[in-house]
Amino acid sequence: MIRAMRQTDIETINKHFTAQGWAARTTVLERYLAEQQAGIRQTFVADQAGDVAGYVTLLTTARTGPFAGKLPEISDFNVFTNFQRHGIGSTLLDAAEQAAAQLAAAVSLGVGLHAGYGPAQQLYVKRGYIPDGSGVWYRDKPLPMNALSRNDDDLVLYISKALTPETN
């Protein structure tokens, strides 16, 4: 079941992050909840028998990148390891894309380039996302040709997908 994020989800999400060896993200998750309440972000949670299997957020308008102020943006997409490969990611993206289709004719996102983002990269291609043509961005700025960068979470490629109100 896909539903909106609740305050009680923060502890569960943090538990899954730490079980995967990642840091807890209480401050970020509390901001998501506040932005959801303010109507500038939707946070979709995949609930599997009372446990959080993953989540994705949708900003009503992208804040950075080539789509800033132009398109809604999918961000912070996570399906926890023990729930992967069961269609949960696709179901979460369906919900985010359907909500985005109520706001605009397309949706955007930035995807990291290191191997940790490999499954997400493959999923986005399968779902019809295409690069915008602005090249690679690093720390919210286009990376010029021959520039040096670090292959971390701040190195991203922006992609978008055309939507219809019936988008799946």
- The pLDDT-based confidence of 167 (bands split at 50, 70, 90) is low
What confidence tens digit (pLDDT) does each residue in 118-150 have? 999 999 999 999 999 999 999 999 999 999 999
Sheet holding 106-112, edge to edge: 2-4, 41-48, 51-59, 73-79, 106-112, 155-162, 130-138, 141-142
SS3 call for 60: coil
What confidence tens digit (pLDDT) does each residue in 76-125 have? 999 998 898 899 999 999 999 999 999 999 999 999 999 999 999 999 99
For 144, phi then psi, to 5°, come to -65, 160
What confidence tens digit (pLDDT) does each residue in 14-43 have? 999 999 999 999 999 999 999 999 999 999
Q: What is the pLDDT of residue 152?
A: 96
Q: What is the pTM of this model?
A: 0.92
